[in-house]
Amino acid sequence: MKTKEIRTKKINELKTLLEDTSKEFFKTKMQVVTGQLMTHRQLRELRKRIAVIKTVIREKEISDERS
């Protein structure tokens, strides 16, 4: 999902997306630890996606406080 698509979502949708992405990150991390998944690229992508989602949530919260 692109950053532009993430920015169009509402805060509630972003929080559920963050929860789902965090669960996916945990599952992928466990697959790497147990040896089922050999590449770490997916972990890096999920970590970046989580950071973008958290950033957008915070930006929206700040803009709501100012309004």
Assign residue 10 the CATH number of its domain. 1.10.287
Query: Residue 9 has what pLDDT?
Result: 96
- Band (67; pLDDT cuts 50, 70, 90): confident
Within-domain flag for 67:
no
| Total domains present in the chain | 1
Query: Residue 37 has what pLDDT?
Result: 86
Query: pTM of this prediction?
Result: 0.90
Residue ranges making up the domain that contains 25: 3-60
- Band (55; pLDDT cuts 50, 70, 90): very high
> 9-47 pLDDT, tens per residue?
999 999 999 999 999 999 999 999 999 988 889 999 999
Within-domain flag for 66:
no
Within-domain flag for 10:
yes
* Of residues 36, 45, 44, 33, the one with CA closest to residue 1: 45
Within-domain flag for 65:
no
